[in-house]
Structure 1
Amino acid sequence: MGILNLLVLVLVMSFIHGSQSTILTITNHCPFTIWPAILTGSGPAASSTGFELAPQASTDVTAQPSWSGRVWARTKCSNSGQFSCKTGDCGSNQISCNGKGGAPPATLIEYTLAGSENKDFYDVSLVDGFNLPVKVVPSGNGCPSTSCPVDINAACPNDLALMDGGAKIGCKSACLAFGTPQLCCSGAFATPDVCKPSNYSQIFKSKCPQAYSYAYDDKSSTFTCPNGGNYQITFCP
């Protein structure tokens, strides 16, 4: 098949499916620099895997239809010999994560674009813990926003806290901190009928009721929007 015919076929199939690329506008309202990161789980790779973002700055990331992935922010990063961060580090030794995920605890924004019924599915997840507040606002009319807008670090129990110089810079999930099947919803606890919210996950849920607080928190934490819109992701909203 010639290149021209192939391009026409791709355009026709995109029109039939009705899906469009999505722009994720990532904004930093924190009073310090952050390093957003993007991991593609499936579908074509997003246009960036990580970058530096100064206070009040914004950067656009483009994701294609059928993209599934996550966005998070790294904090307290330095480049003394090799690049590394104290929260959310992806272990690439570079500002770009290059396909590597972030080390918990980190606040996650998760997406599946143009999924079932050509809808986008998105959520804020604290299943891997928390490092920064965030808010997600879709551009589509009537599409719900979701957020974890408060600083959970301040209320984090000491046995979950990630410390740096005497300051709490992250809050681990109970699964990460203790690793038991009951807290991780694994083994004999790997179904929603058996794995229930813990006292620890309820701390997260009380602060951020829209966010995933543990593995089976779907009903109150997953949101949908017809594909074709864009999303504003604001850290420290």
Structure 2
Amino acid sequence: MKPWRAGRRPAAVCALAVPAAALLLSACGGSGGLESAGPTPTAVGPRELWPSLTPASAAVDDYGSGETDVVEGVAVPGGDLRRVDPVRVLRAQQAADPETYKDIAAGLADCGDPGRRGPDCPVLHAYFADLTGDGEDDMVVGVEAPKQQLVVRVYTYGGGTLTQIMNDEDAVISVELAGDTVVVRAVADLSGYEYRTSWSYDVHQKAMLPTRDEIVRTGPPRTPSASPSVTPPATPSGSPSRTPSAGPSPSAS
């Protein structure tokens, strides 16, 4: 079967005296007739390979998807995360798990509060957007880690509980907010390519999941810059400023 598309409207109308059969044959002098768009490709469904293969029952690697962490000891005035200093959040998590945060402990000490914020503070200023769909802003925090790694975290507040719902660590090129999705662009191990991971909130898991993970051609073979940057789609807080993991550690894997 061939699909058809209508031709352009003819400039002149054929004479009414011309029989209908002649109209069909002549197509008004060959102008404005139907034209073939060519043969339609045959639809081909997926073909299962090795149908007798025993399905795996467990993942080999722990990607960390769906892991969350309740943050204790941080007040959220009026339930508004914009009034929360991200440095206090990181310090609370450090107090609960000092070993995990040993690689950035010295930097956290340079983040002020009390005192003046120093240049070695690894905590970047926060951005805010409703990522969970509850009508309230969630907080996106970046933490610079050793080996040019950037940790990207998302915190949400509800029911009196502050919870970390995303933790991704990578050699980040940039971070973007696209609606309710966090897109992390990272350096790929192939020259001229980059990784792009889209994180979206899953209502069943109550966490941000990497719903799309791809490697994208970006140009001729080259070495992309690994300098982390954040594209600001929202208002920053008042505080100054490839294998992703989703554990609680901001240090390099």
- TM class, shorter-chain normalised? under 0.3
Higher percent of residues as strand: 1
Greater radius of gyration (CA): 2
Of structures 1 and 2, the one with the larger relative CO (CA 8 A, separation 6+) is 1
> Going by fraction, where is helix more abundant, 1 or 2?
1
